[in-house]
Amino acid sequence: MKLARESIPFIVIPAVLGVLSLVFGFWYLTIIFALVVAFMAYFFRDPRRVPPQDPNVVVAPADGRVTRIKTLASDNGDSSTFVSIFLSPFDVHINRAPITGRITRSLYVPGTFLNAALDKASEDNERRIIVIETPADGEIGVVQIAGLVARRIVTFSAIGETIGVGQRFGLIRFGSRVDVYLPPGKGALVSVGQRAVAGETVLADLQSLEPEREALRG
């Protein structure tokens, strides 16, 4: 299993401490450090994902459970939908681009560290807002949100870069939430409670006329 490069200090340091503990006879500390190394390797795993080839679909940017789907009305009468995906400490935490496009905005917003599952975490918590402009279908917004345990948002991509669907663009340590904002008039094709797989699960089809799953909102 491939590991994210950000895992290096989190694995090497406890591994070294574990060896030193064994050398000096503190075998019980060695066991603790070994468990820490195992958890860090599991947390920072970076599995291969195969995104859909259809350029019109929006895929999940994160592994986790869909916890909220909501429509937001704008001043000009248009409405847009956002989908929240909650990541537990046991989910893969690599974030992936939901669609191919150019990054036109990347804004860090300081904030609190409330439980990421709460609705107000979208407005109150520390977060990183990324806007991806697509050639034909407007903009897709992705928000990395820190949580109660997550205290570090990492973003790999910068403004002006072109990013491909399913491409790694960041991660959040350790347990968090990612919100996806769809273009006006585009509904979600997932339901609350559904498990999402980053880079593979289709959240929306920008060309589809299929109605969103109203009965399964939350």
Q: How many CA atoms lie within 13 A of 144 on its CB side?
A: 30
The predicted pLDDT at position 175 comes to 66
Instruction: Indicate if the pLDDT at residue 124 is higher than 70.
Output: yes
Q: Measuring CA to CA, which residue among 133, 78, 74, 76 is closest to residue 104?
A: 133
Tell me the per-residue pLDDT of 52-73, one tens digit each, with 9 for 90 and over.
Answer: 988 889 999 999 999 999 887 7
Q: pLDDT (tens digit, 9 = 90+) per residue, 29-53?
A: 999 999 999 988 888 888 999 999 8
End-to-end CA distance of the chain: 35
CA atoms within 13 A on the CB side of 86: 19
Q: Which residues are catalytic?
A: 176
Q: Which of 56, 95, 54, 85 is nearest to 186 (CA)?
A: 56
pLDDT of residue 213: 58
- pTM (2 decimals)? 0.84
Sign of the Cα torsion 143, 149, 151, 155 reads negative
pLDDT for 151 equals 65
The predicted-structure confidence for 162-197, as pLDDT tens digits, reads as follows 999 999 998 887 768 899 999 887 888 899 999 999
